[in-house]
Structure 1
């Protein structure tokens, strides 16, 4: 869910970045995991 969200949002947009942060929190994802998922999304894109 988080990886798909990262792929379709613009993390440079403050509102979308806040939404991603809230999603990660709701999913109880550690910072290390969100960083890795975001890295994977950037490599795929």
Structure 2
């Protein structure tokens, strides 16, 4: 049996970029993007 591991994307949010939290568009884009990701499998 062969097991292939799919890597989940990583997103780094720095505390040095607070304007992103106040952006009216970016949080919605992040939510839409994250909704397309598969749920991580439990090991």
TM-score by shorter chain over 0.5: no
RCO greater where, 1 or 2, for CA within 8 Å and sep 6 or more? 1
TM category (shorter chain) comes to 0.3 to 0.5
Which has the larger share of helix?
Answer: 1
TM-score, normalising length from structure 1? Answer: 0.39
TM-score, normalising length from structure 2? Answer: 0.40
